[in-house]
Protein backbone atom coordinates (compact mmCIF):
# COMPACT_ATOMS: atom_id res chain seq x y z
CA UNK A 1 0.00 0.00 0.00
CA UNK A 2 1.15 3.50 -0.82
CA UNK A 3 0.08 6.06 1.76
CA UNK A 4 0.10 9.76 0.87
CA UNK A 5 -0.48 11.93 3.93
CA UNK A 6 -0.91 15.71 4.08
CA UNK A 7 1.20 16.21 0.96
CA UNK A 8 1.80 19.83 -0.06
CA UNK A 9 3.76 21.54 -2.83
CA UNK A 10 4.07 25.14 -3.98
CA UNK A 11 5.99 26.80 -6.81
CA UNK A 12 7.04 30.43 -6.39
CA UNK A 13 4.48 30.88 -3.63
CA UNK A 14 1.60 29.35 -5.64
CA UNK A 15 0.11 26.35 -3.84
CA UNK A 16 -0.28 23.42 -6.25
CA UNK A 17 -1.00 20.62 -3.76
CA UNK A 18 -2.45 21.23 -0.32
CA UNK A 19 -2.82 18.48 2.29
CA UNK A 20 -3.40 15.64 -0.21
CA UNK A 21 -4.34 12.35 1.44
CA UNK A 22 -4.65 9.24 -0.69
CA UNK A 23 -4.10 5.49 -0.39
CA UNK A 24 -3.04 3.50 -3.43
CA UNK A 25 -3.24 -0.27 -3.34
CA UNK A 26 -2.89 -2.97 -5.96
CA UNK A 27 -4.96 -2.23 -9.05
CA UNK A 28 -5.55 0.98 -10.94
CA UNK A 29 -6.41 4.26 -9.26
CA UNK A 30 -7.50 6.99 -11.64
CA UNK A 31 -6.67 10.53 -10.57
CA UNK A 32 -9.12 12.97 -12.11
CA UNK A 33 -9.05 16.71 -11.57
CA UNK A 34 -9.14 19.88 -13.66
CA UNK A 35 -6.03 21.03 -15.50
CA UNK A 36 -3.63 22.80 -13.16
CA UNK A 37 -4.87 20.92 -10.07
CA UNK A 38 -1.49 19.28 -9.44
CA UNK A 39 -1.96 15.79 -10.92
CA UNK A 40 1.38 15.73 -12.74
CA UNK A 41 3.12 17.27 -9.73
CA UNK A 42 1.77 14.47 -7.56
CA UNK A 43 3.03 11.87 -10.04
CA UNK A 44 6.47 13.50 -10.09
CA UNK A 45 6.61 13.47 -6.28
CA UNK A 46 5.62 9.80 -6.13
CA UNK A 47 8.34 8.94 -8.66
CA UNK A 48 10.94 10.85 -6.63
CA UNK A 49 11.44 13.52 -9.31
CA UNK A 50 10.18 16.34 -7.05
CA UNK A 51 10.26 16.85 -3.31
CA UNK A 52 7.10 17.86 -1.47
CA UNK A 53 7.14 20.91 0.77
CA UNK A 54 5.30 18.96 3.43
CA UNK A 55 3.64 15.65 4.14
CA UNK A 56 4.79 12.09 3.61
CA UNK A 57 4.70 9.26 1.10
CA UNK A 58 5.23 5.75 2.44
CA UNK A 59 5.17 2.37 0.76
CA UNK A 60 7.41 3.22 -2.19
CA UNK A 61 10.77 3.04 -0.43
CA UNK A 62 11.89 -0.15 -2.20
CA UNK A 63 9.50 -0.04 -5.16
CA UNK A 64 10.60 -0.49 -8.76
CA UNK A 65 9.06 2.32 -10.82
CA UNK A 66 7.92 2.65 -14.39
CA UNK A 67 6.12 5.54 -16.04
CA UNK A 68 4.55 7.04 -19.10
CA UNK A 69 4.94 10.80 -18.89
CA UNK A 70 2.91 13.41 -20.76
CA UNK A 71 5.86 13.65 -23.16
CA UNK A 72 6.86 10.44 -24.96
CA UNK A 73 10.58 10.69 -24.02
CA UNK A 74 11.72 8.29 -26.72
CA UNK A 75 15.13 7.88 -28.32
CA UNK A 76 13.96 9.12 -31.69
CA UNK A 77 16.93 7.83 -33.71
CA UNK A 78 16.28 4.27 -32.53
CA UNK A 79 13.53 1.99 -33.80
CA UNK A 80 10.96 0.35 -31.52
CA UNK A 81 13.21 -2.59 -30.64
CA UNK A 82 16.12 -0.23 -29.97
CA UNK A 83 14.00 1.81 -27.55
CA UNK A 84 13.06 -1.33 -25.64
CA UNK A 85 16.64 -2.60 -25.74
CA UNK A 86 17.79 0.72 -24.25
CA UNK A 87 15.56 0.41 -21.16
CA UNK A 88 16.04 -3.32 -20.70
CA UNK A 89 19.78 -3.61 -21.29
CA UNK A 90 20.98 -7.17 -20.79
CA UNK A 91 17.41 -8.27 -19.94
CA UNK A 92 16.26 -7.53 -23.50
CA UNK A 93 14.57 -10.54 -25.09
CA UNK A 94 13.74 -10.19 -28.78
CA UNK A 95 10.74 -12.53 -28.61
CA UNK A 96 9.16 -10.81 -25.62
CA UNK A 97 9.80 -7.40 -27.15
CA UNK A 98 8.13 -8.47 -30.41
CA UNK A 99 5.15 -9.84 -28.46
CA UNK A 100 4.68 -6.59 -26.53
CA UNK A 101 5.02 -4.45 -29.65
CA UNK A 102 2.50 -6.71 -31.38
CA UNK A 103 0.01 -6.29 -28.54
CA UNK A 104 0.22 -2.54 -29.05
CA UNK A 105 -0.06 -2.72 -32.85
CA UNK A 106 3.58 -1.82 -33.48
CA UNK A 107 4.66 -5.12 -35.00
CA UNK A 108 4.84 -3.77 -38.55
CA UNK A 109 7.16 -0.80 -38.01
CA UNK A 110 10.39 -2.62 -38.91
CA UNK A 111 13.58 -0.62 -38.47
CA UNK A 112 11.93 2.78 -38.89
CA UNK A 113 13.32 5.32 -36.36
CA UNK A 114 10.83 6.44 -33.71
CA UNK A 115 11.30 10.06 -34.83
CA UNK A 116 9.41 9.16 -38.01
CA UNK A 117 6.43 7.64 -36.16
CA UNK A 118 3.03 9.29 -35.96
CA UNK A 119 2.01 10.77 -32.60
CA UNK A 120 -0.13 7.74 -31.75
CA UNK A 121 2.69 5.33 -32.63
CA UNK A 122 5.09 7.27 -30.41
CA UNK A 123 2.59 7.13 -27.57
CA UNK A 124 2.21 3.35 -27.92
CA UNK A 125 6.00 2.94 -27.98
CA UNK A 126 6.29 5.04 -24.80
CA UNK A 127 3.72 2.71 -23.23
CA UNK A 128 5.64 -0.35 -24.48
CA UNK A 129 8.82 0.96 -22.87
CA UNK A 130 7.04 1.43 -19.54
CA UNK A 131 5.42 -2.01 -19.66
CA UNK A 132 8.59 -3.82 -20.77
CA UNK A 133 10.42 -3.43 -17.45
CA UNK A 134 9.71 -5.08 -14.11
CA UNK A 135 7.84 -2.68 -11.85
CA UNK A 136 5.87 -2.49 -8.62
CA UNK A 137 4.45 0.99 -9.24
CA UNK A 138 3.36 2.27 -12.65
CA UNK A 139 2.48 5.92 -13.25
CA UNK A 140 0.51 6.70 -16.41
CA UNK A 141 0.14 10.43 -17.09
CA UNK A 142 -2.35 10.83 -19.95
CA UNK A 143 -1.11 7.61 -21.61
CA UNK A 144 -3.78 7.47 -24.32
CA UNK A 145 -3.25 10.94 -25.82
CA UNK A 146 -3.30 10.72 -29.61
CA UNK A 147 -4.63 7.16 -29.78
CA UNK A 148 -7.63 6.32 -31.92
CA UNK A 149 -10.39 4.10 -30.52
CA UNK A 150 -8.93 0.79 -31.73
CA UNK A 151 -5.42 1.50 -30.46
CA UNK A 152 -6.78 2.81 -27.18
CA UNK A 153 -8.59 -0.50 -26.65
CA UNK A 154 -5.40 -2.44 -27.46
CA UNK A 155 -3.45 -0.31 -24.99
CA UNK A 156 -6.04 -0.84 -22.24
CA UNK A 157 -6.00 -4.61 -22.76
CA UNK A 158 -2.19 -4.61 -22.69
CA UNK A 159 -2.05 -2.54 -19.47
CA UNK A 160 -4.64 -4.75 -17.77
CA UNK A 161 -2.65 -7.87 -18.64
CA UNK A 162 0.85 -6.60 -17.89
CA UNK A 163 0.05 -4.57 -14.77
CA UNK A 164 -2.23 -7.10 -13.08
CA UNK A 165 -1.65 -7.12 -9.32
CA UNK A 166 0.59 -4.02 -9.45
CA UNK A 167 -0.10 -0.53 -8.15
CA UNK A 168 -1.00 1.76 -11.04
CA UNK A 169 -1.77 5.48 -10.90
CA UNK A 170 -3.58 6.69 -14.03
CA UNK A 171 -3.96 10.41 -14.74
CA UNK A 172 -6.62 11.09 -17.35
CA UNK A 173 -9.51 13.38 -18.18
CA UNK A 174 -11.44 10.58 -19.85
CA UNK A 175 -13.80 8.51 -17.70
CA UNK A 176 -13.86 5.79 -20.39
CA UNK A 177 -10.15 5.15 -19.76
CA UNK A 178 -10.84 4.68 -16.06
CA UNK A 179 -13.77 2.36 -16.77
CA UNK A 180 -11.72 0.34 -19.28
CA UNK A 181 -9.04 -0.22 -16.66
CA UNK A 182 -11.59 -0.93 -13.90
CA UNK A 183 -10.02 1.90 -11.91
CA UNK A 184 -10.96 3.35 -8.56
CA UNK A 185 -11.56 7.09 -8.99
CA UNK A 186 -9.75 9.66 -6.85
CA UNK A 187 -9.76 13.43 -7.15
CA UNK A 188 -7.72 16.42 -6.08
CA UNK A 189 -9.50 19.36 -4.50
- Widest CA span in the chain: 50
List CB contacts of 96: < 8 A, sequence separation 6 or more: 132
User: pTM of the full predicted structure?
Assistant: 0.94
Q: Out of 3.20.20.70, 3.40.50.300, 3.50.50.60, 3.40.50.620, which CATH number does the structure's domain 2-187 have?
A: 3.40.50.300
Tallying the residues shown for the chain, one arrives at 189
The residues spanned by each domain of the chain are 2-187
DSSP per-residue letters across 94-149: HHHHHHHHHHTT-TT-TT--GGGS-HHHHHHHHHHHHHHS--SEEEEESTTTT--H
**pLDDT tens figures, 61-88:** 999 999 999 999 999 999 999 999 999 9
For strand 27-32 and strand 184-187, is the pairing parallel, antiparallel, or unpaired?
Answer: parallel
Q: Angle at which helices 80-88 and 94-103 pack, to 10 degrees?
A: 120
Q: In whole angstroms, what is the distance from residue 108 CA to residue 94 CA?
A: 15
Which pLDDT does position 173 carry in this prediction? 86
User: What SS3 state is found at 8?
Assistant: strand
Q: Which DSSP symbol is given to 149?
A: H
| Rg over CA atoms, the chain | 17
Q: Is the distance from CB of 66 to CB of 135 less than 8 angstroms?
A: yes
Which pLDDT does position 189 carry in this prediction? 67
Q: Which of 82, 20, 81 is nearest to 46 (CA)?
A: 20
Low pLDDT (below 50) residues in the chain: none
Q: In whole angstroms, what is the distance from residue 179 CA to residue 170 CA?
A: 11
Which pLDDT does position 120 carry in this prediction? 95
Amino acid sequence: MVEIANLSKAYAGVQVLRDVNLTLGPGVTCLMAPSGAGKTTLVRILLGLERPDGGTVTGLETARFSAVFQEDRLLERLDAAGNLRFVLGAAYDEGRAAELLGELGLDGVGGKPAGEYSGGMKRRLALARALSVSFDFLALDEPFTGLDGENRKKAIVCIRRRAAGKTVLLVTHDMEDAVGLDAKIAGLE
